[in-house]
Structure 1
Amino acid sequence: MKKEELQKFVDSFHTMTSILSVENTSDGSIGTIRIEAGNELYVKSMERKDGDGNSVFSQKFIPGSNYEMYMEKELNFEKFCYQSAILKKPVHAYIQPERFPFWINLFMLPVEVDDTEKGYCSYSLEVTPEADLETMTRLSAEISSNVLKACIKLRGTKNFLKTMDEVIEDIRELCGAETCCVLRTDFRERSCFVLGSATKPNTYVQNIHKVISNKFVDYAESWIETLKGSNCLIIQNDADMEIIRERNPAWYASLTGAKVKSLVLLPLMHNEEFIGFIWATNFDTSNVLRIKETLELVTFFIASEVASYLLLQQLEVLSNVDLLTGVKNRNAMNNQVYQLVNGIVQYKTISVVFADLNGLKPVNDNEGHNAGDALLKRASQILKETFTDCEVYRAGGDEFVVVALDRPRADLEARVEKLRQKSKEKGNVSFALGFFHDENGGDVRKAMHEADVLMYEDKKLHYAHKR
């Protein structure tokens, strides 16, 4: 086909279609990409503004111009163009650009044009406001099998974190990568932690769990800007790495310092919110498109499972933790009593401390409930610091219970006595305390009753001295 025939060629399509060219380079890097021609449907759709005044093209279309004149540089788009125009391979992808409220079903096919300096391909696409599940699941048998395997593992697990490690190992092998990791990020709480990781055997890399701390969340947040709205970032050569150096110098320094030569990074999204990232380093760059397509769909399901796991974690906290003080609540205490009584948890000795906070009512009456809440928080913090190796519960109101299994009696008695003496000092948080220890692994209910009785005796003494 001759170059002057390109416009007539795209006009024959009944879908949004353009012709793209990619300059040939001697080093195999991706040369300049130009939009050589576009049919009316394509041009009008790219230039049309939405309700917020946004459009794909930032200015009027001029045939033969560098695509970066109209939209931000997009690494994945460039790789698609290179695969089709230079390597002469058909390309199909189904994507949802994060910066646009629609899904794109795109097709690229190599086109023979009389031009020795460039390769050409057609670029046809259809745009929908919502995801088409039928299109998303129209995959090869190999990709479908890999995705289904991950879904079944995660859906049927009773140990989410252990299974996540297994799934991440499967993904690492699929990518032929040195390392693979899924990271949970919470940008509101400024926290992050590893949900699963895998490393190729006999590969020396730093333990990811030692690298990741809550400070890493600032690092992860910079990836959002680096992604530039894309749902996937692929670095497969030095040219790509140079783009990272320009966009994110600190990350570039970290990657090169860790001897990362290739990387695929995808965000985990749920309800239009970033909940984490998944990445693979030093992967098999000869299968970029297959890896990208597989990971995009696997990540879709992983994000859903991670969101479900986080919700269950939150529900567990709500059902077992006292939200005011941060210690475990009465429900959690009842659950432990059930496990101890029914032999689910085995023990040789049992100790119980009842700690009733003195003076809460006068503080509430005279200074207000905010002051009372502050007193409860201080009391719980003292108990947690005193009994670091025991379970501390807020049984209700101003009453706390400490349960210790297989701890030496003398050690616990010393802690209780130290707490009792501090309670007598003016200005300190004051507790009425009852301690009971059973050396023969008796019934926890009896131990709690005896400690409660002793606590009330201590409370009587406290108020008798105040008269």
Structure 2
Amino acid sequence: MEKEWADIKKEISQYRSSGDNKNRLYALSEHYFAMADEAVDIAEVYTEEIVQQSRTFLIIVICAFLVVVMMVTIFTYQQEKRRRRLLEAEAENRRKSEQLARQSQQMLMPINEMTELMYVADIHTYDLLFVNDAGKKLFDIEEFTGLKCYKALQGFDKPCDFCPNAKLSKDETYTWEYSNPVIHGHYLLKDRLIDWEGREARMEIAFDITESLQKKKELEKRIKRDNILIDCIRELYQNHHTVDAMNHVLKLIGEVFEAERAYVFYMENDEMSNIAEWCREGITPEIDNLQHLSRHDYKWWFQLYDEQASIMIRDVRELQGDRQAEYELLSGQKIERLILVPFERYGNFGGMIGLDNLSVEVFEDAEKFLRTFGYFIMLAIRRNEDEKTLYRLSYMDTLTKFYNHNRYIQDVEEFSEKETTVGVAFIDVNGLKEINDRFGHEAGDQLLQTGAAIMQSSVPEGNLYRVGGDEFVIICPDVEEAEFRDIIQKLKDTFNREECKAAVGYEWTHSCRNLKAIIRSADQKMYEDKEQFYQQHAEAGRYRH
């Protein structure tokens, strides 16, 4: 149409200029208007199509919008429903959390009320996750968050070498004992593997058994000391050599009380002497320097002993000044502390038992032990004295201090089992009956004592026996014949020089198994010698026997 419009404009321009081509202009105009009508029609059709398309699109858009609105509505509804469910779940979770918190608090309340330590620690990081009130108090912990169990509870800078984590399981409780270096207590520990707020952790409950352990140790010490006391009593009872027995038991006592020296003093004739002593290795014995201590020189000690009081000195320096002499005596022996316990003898002070430089912690126990032991020491000493008395009465002649007939019979049996050489002398003191009749038995006893002295000086190594009123036997085991004959000759020469006269018969043999036979032979020779005496002293012949 642009071309046709250009042609019309051109024709109009020519028509105006010349007035010609009217018809052509009209024809072009008609043609143009026809084209315009056609264009309008086309435009209307196009417009109608566009409108229809727009209507269709709008319907589609509206439908789509409605769908979207429906979907949004449904989604909103679902979201609201979900939100309500979440809110309900959140409320339920909050309720459950509050309930769990209450339950946790209720559970922690008895845990915090426990007197035993209880804590929870992460087994991988060693972080403390919980410590009950007892644990906080024990270890002075205000806030445990960020603390390591090995640092807070053990004082270490790294995980404990004895950490039981590797030994734990959720099915079993691991039980063990440990002495804590921070609070210096001994504990029975029960450990178990648990889940704690989503973390793998070790729960430990510690039972303080320090007192029980101390009682156990004290009981063990008491039992040990009782056993030592029994051993000491057994030794004193079985060993009849009292001093040897004392030396043995003093070693036991000194060791059990960790002393440097243990000793026994015995009182006799108003003097006190150290009769037995044990010293730890490296300690100088003092027994030789502590003999015949007089009561006058140690008045303070003896005053306490007479009162049956124990002397317990924990530091000898406390004696300086008021007890300077005692301080110098003890310090000179390098004694820093000691305990002295007296024992009785027939109701009076009989002696004492002492320990030097023993452990301070055992003073009281040592004093009780020594008091009990002192009783058995006294029994042993009395028994020893009684045995000596009984021995003297059973085997010794009280007048001459020679062995008596009982010991003679016993020794003859024992010697007869030996193979050694032996010499025997049979001796009879001459004139005893005459002396008794003329001057009395005291003079007769004096005669026998003189004769015994002659035998003792002439035969210092032999066994001397008084086997009858005026009869004596001398047995010299393990002696050569020549030596024995020299002894007998000395004996005879001495009797010949003294007023006390005696008949002597003797015999020597290679074997003690012939002892009884040579005793009879010596006896016979004695009678022969006696016969010669009475032949030379006719006035005494009527007293032959």
Normalised by the length of structure 2, the TM-score is 0.53
Structure 2 vs 1, CA of residues 219 and 255 (structure 1 numbering), >3 Å: closer, same or farther?
Answer: farther
Alignment partner of 1:202 is 2:277:
no
Q: What's 1:450 paired with?
A: 521
| Cα-to-partner distance string for 1:339-363 (whole Å, 9 max, x where unaligned) | 123x2xx242111011111222222
Which residue in 1 is equivalent to 2:438?
366
* Pairing 1:167–2:265 present: no
Summarize the Cα distance change of 1:405–1:193 in structure 2 as closer, same or farther, 3 Å threshold.
farther
Aligned partners of 1:350 and 1:442 also within 8 Å: no
Shift in Å, 1:466: 2.0
For the residue of structure 1 that corresponds to 2:486, the secondary structure is helix
Tell me if the contact between 1:185 and 1:193 (Cα under 8 Å) persists in the aligned partners. no
Match of 1:314 in 2: 389
Tell me the amino acid that sits aligned with residue 162 of structure 1.
D
Moved more, 311-320 or 236-245: 236-245
Match of residue 399, structure 1, among 444, 463, 471: 471
What amino acid maps onto 2:302 in structure 1? I
Equivalent-residue separation in structure 2 for 1:299 and 1:437 (angstroms): 51
Q: CA 1:378/1:274 → structure 2, altered by over 3 Å: closer, same or farther?
A: farther
Q: Which moved more, 1:233-242 or 1:376-385?
A: 233-242
Which of 352, 364, 380 is matched with 1:305 structurally?
380
Q: Tell me which structure has the larger Cα radius of gyration.
A: 2
1:184–1:315 Cα change, 3 Å: farther
> What's the CA shift string for 1:392-426, capped at 9, x where partnerless?
0111111111001111222221121122123223x
Which of the residues 456, 460, 463 maps onto 2:534?
Answer: 463
Deviations 1:190-210 (A, max 9, x none): 78672x42110122334x2x4
- The answer on whether the counterparts of 2:395 and 2:406 sit within 8 Å (CA) in structure 1 is yes
Pairing of 1:279-428 with structure 2 (within 5 A): 279-341=354-416, 343=417, 346-425=418-497, 427-428=498-499
1:268 matched to 2:343? The reply is yes
Percent of matched pairs sharing the same residue: 24
AA paired with 2:508? H
Name the SS for the 2:285 alignment partner: coil
Task: Report the counterpart of residue 323 of structure 2 in structure 1.
Answer: 245
Indicate if the aligned counterparts of 2:272 and 2:351 stay in contact, CA closer than 8 A. no
Instruction: Tell me the residue number matched to 1:115.
Output: none
| Counterpart for residue 432 of structure 1 | 503
> 1:354–1:216: structure 2 CA closer, same or farther, 3 Å change rule?
farther
SS state of the match for residue 279, structure 1?
strand
C-alpha separation in 2, matches of 1:439 and 1:368: 43
Give the Å deviation of 1:173.
1.2
- Structure 2 CA distance, aligned partners of 1:282 and 1:410? 59
Whichever residue aligns with residue 305 of structure 1, its letter is: A
Q: For residue 370 of structure 2, what is the amino acid of its counterpart?
A: L
Offset at 1:228?
4.8
More helix by share: 2
Q: Tell me the CA shift for residue 179 of structure 1.
A: 1.6
The 1:275/1:376 distance shift into structure 2, 3 A limit, reads farther
Structure 2 gaps, min length 5: 1-220, 539-545
Judged with a 3 Å threshold, the aligned counterparts in structure 2 of structure 1 residues 197 and 339 are, in CA distance, closer, same or farther, namely same
> Structure 1 residues 363 and 218 mapped into 2: Cα distance closer, same or farther (>3 Å)?
farther
Displacement of 1:330? 0.6
TM-score by length of 1: 0.61
Which digits, 9 at most, give the CA deviation of each residue in 1:118-153, with x for residues without a partner?
A: xxxxxxxxxxxxxxxxxxxxx954543443332344
Query: Deviation at 1:374?
Result: 1.7
Partners of 2:449 and 2:321 in 1: how far apart?
A: 50
Q: For 2:335 and 2:521, how far apart are their aligned partners in 1?
A: 62
Measure, in 2, the Cα distance between the counterparts of 1:372 and 1:212. Answer: 44
Q: Do the aligned partners of 2:311 and 2:339 also contact (CA within 8 Å) in 1?
A: yes
Tell me, in whole angstroms, the C-alpha distance in 2 between the residues paired with 1:319 and 1:243.
55
Is the contact made by 2:257 and 2:359 (CA closer than 8 Å) also made in structure 1?
yes
TM superposition shift of 1:161: 4.1
Distance 1:332 1:445 in 2: 15
* Equivalent position SS for 1:396: coil
